[in-house]
Structure 1
Amino acid sequence: MRRLKTRAQFQAVLGGMTVSKTAHFALHARALAAASDVSEALLFPEPAVWLGAMVPKRWAKRAVTRNTIKRQIYTLGAEFSAELGPHAHLVRLRSGFDRKQFPSATSEPLKAAVRSELQQLFARARTSVIGAKP
């Protein structure tokens, strides 16, 4: 599994389709073009599973919370990478977790809630058209 690193890669994947959504997350995906497309080859040099995480400050104010969520995204992405196929994927946090329910930025209940929701997100992507194995 490769990670998205550049702004151009993130924008390219956001321009693709939304594969699945949960209450807090959205999974965007983009099929990788043929090797003859030069601009695509510069963005994604090898046909592999590419994964990025977008956790904006708007929805997770504390850096420790953003980093915890990103770690969960990359860990579960690695577990599901074999089922996602050679596409570029981006997990985007689209709403915040309630600070009254999860007061600690790295509490076990928050980690469990994030992990559970990400598992649902990747499971839905597995059954979608772009996430299905050829």
Structure 2
Amino acid sequence: MTGDRSQPARSQPALVQHYGRDRRIVKTDEFSSVFRLRPTYRTSHFVLYTRSNGLTTSRLGVVVAKRMAPRAVTRNMIKRVTRELFRQSVLSAADYIVRLSKPINSRTDPAASSQLKQQLRHELQQLLASSRRPDLPR
């Protein structure tokens, strides 16, 4: 019978954390204070900067320069994937900045292919997993 609401609907898995404004690095001076430190970890396309923030939650900033990813579609896809992985990760209370450090594609390549998205997702997972290592500065 369609439309029967007597049985509870299948709930989707509970999301680990939200990504509200309090979880974002938005001010220029906040970005600058994290950038002053050395990069914590690198992958082939990304650099991760971390800095202890003295708060109870971790915060994220994402920097994707236009010269590294000329198309807005690509830049937005990188930011969306980064935010989603950050939201699902359990990280120590610190400020994290993910910066694209190597050009992703040119204007002649497809803007956002599934292969590119999968590759970037894998790299970003490695990047965020590295921040959970105990030998990194907190």
* TM bucket, shorter chain: 0.7 to 0.9
Preserved contact between residue 29 and residue 89 of structure 1 (Cα < 8 Å): yes
Q: CA RMSD in A?
A: 1.9
1:98 Cα offset (Å)? 4.1
The whole-number CA distance in structure 1 between the counterparts of 2:129 and 2:27 is 27
Is 2:90 the counterpart of 1:88? Answer: no
4+ runs deviating over 6 angstroms: none
The whole-number CA distance in structure 2 between the counterparts of 1:130 and 1:78 is 21
User: Structure 1 vs Structure 2: percent identity of aligned residues?
Assistant: 35
1:104 Cα offset (Å)? 1.5
1:70-89 equivalent positions in 2, closer than 5 A: 70-80=79-89, 82=90, 84-89=91-96
Preserved contact between residue 17 and residue 30 of structure 1 (Cα < 8 Å): no
The structure with more radius of gyration: 2
TM-score, normalised to structure 2, is: 0.76
1:89-104 equivalent positions in 2, closer than 5 A: 89-99=96-106, 103-104=109-110
Render the CA deviation track for 1:82-124: whole Å, top value 9, x for unaligned.
2x20100000000012449x92212111110110110111122
What amino acid sits opposite 1:79 in the alignment?
Answer: Q
1:104-119 equivalent positions in 2, closer than 5 A: 104-119=110-125
SS of aligned partner of 2:132:
helix
Partner of 2:6: none
Partner of 2:65: 56
1:75 Cα offset (Å)? 0.6
Q: RCO greater where, 1 or 2, for CA within 8 Å and sep 6 or more?
A: 1
1:22-37 equivalent positions in 2, closer than 5 A: 22-33=43-54
1:1-20 equivalent positions in 2, closer than 5 A: 1=19, 2-20=23-41
TM-score, normalised to structure 1, is: 0.78
Structure 2 residues not aligned, in runs of 5+: 1-18
Higher helix share: 1
Render the CA deviation track for 1:50-76: whole Å, top value 9, x for unaligned.
101000011000111100000011011
Count of equivalent residues: 116
Structure 1 residues not aligned, in runs of 5+: 34-45
What amino acid sits opposite 2:43 in the alignment?
Answer: T
What amino acid sits opposite 2:83 in the alignment?
Answer: Y
